[in-house]
Homo-oligomer: A and B are copies of this chain.
């Protein structure tokens, strides 16, 4: 089932499968991309008030996008993203947490200049196993319309 721009109607919601972030994965990602002490050093993390290491927010972001992309909703129609807005990390992600994503289409606008595509905005909410929001953001995505 291929989806196209026309399928992303305002209010439509998608929920992804989950993914558990192990301590090893959190340490490994952060050592490479975001080596702040509270992401990579269990001893130093004791001084930071999170009760141990927490995942890099960038790690949460890419896991969320990968879970979303794996649902194969935009694999045929995506033409890329101009950007994101209002990205927040309201709660820490801890080793062993299982994340999933709830996406809601909040805007859909056909292109005036290019009749083969449109722009959507989707609100991404990344949830942990308690259903608490650990990250949210609004993503723009350019999508192809259904081929004639």
Contact = CB atoms under 8 A, between A and B. Distances in A.
Given A81-B89, A86-B85, A69 B34 contact: yes
A83 B79 contact: no
Given A62-B34, A65-B34, A69-B34, A89 B79 contact: no
Contacts of A69: 34-36
Interface in A108-134: none
A86 B88 contact: no
A48 B83 contact: no
B80 A38 contact: yes
B84 A34 contact: no
Contacts of A84: 84, 87
24 contacts: A33-B65, A33-B66, A34-B62, A34-B69, A35-B69, A36-B75, A36-B80, A48-B80, A57-B81, A58-B61, A58-B65, A61-B61, A62-B62, A81-B89, A82-B88, A82-B89, A82-B90, A83-B86, A83-B88, A83-B89, A84-B84, A85-B85, A85-B86, A85-B87
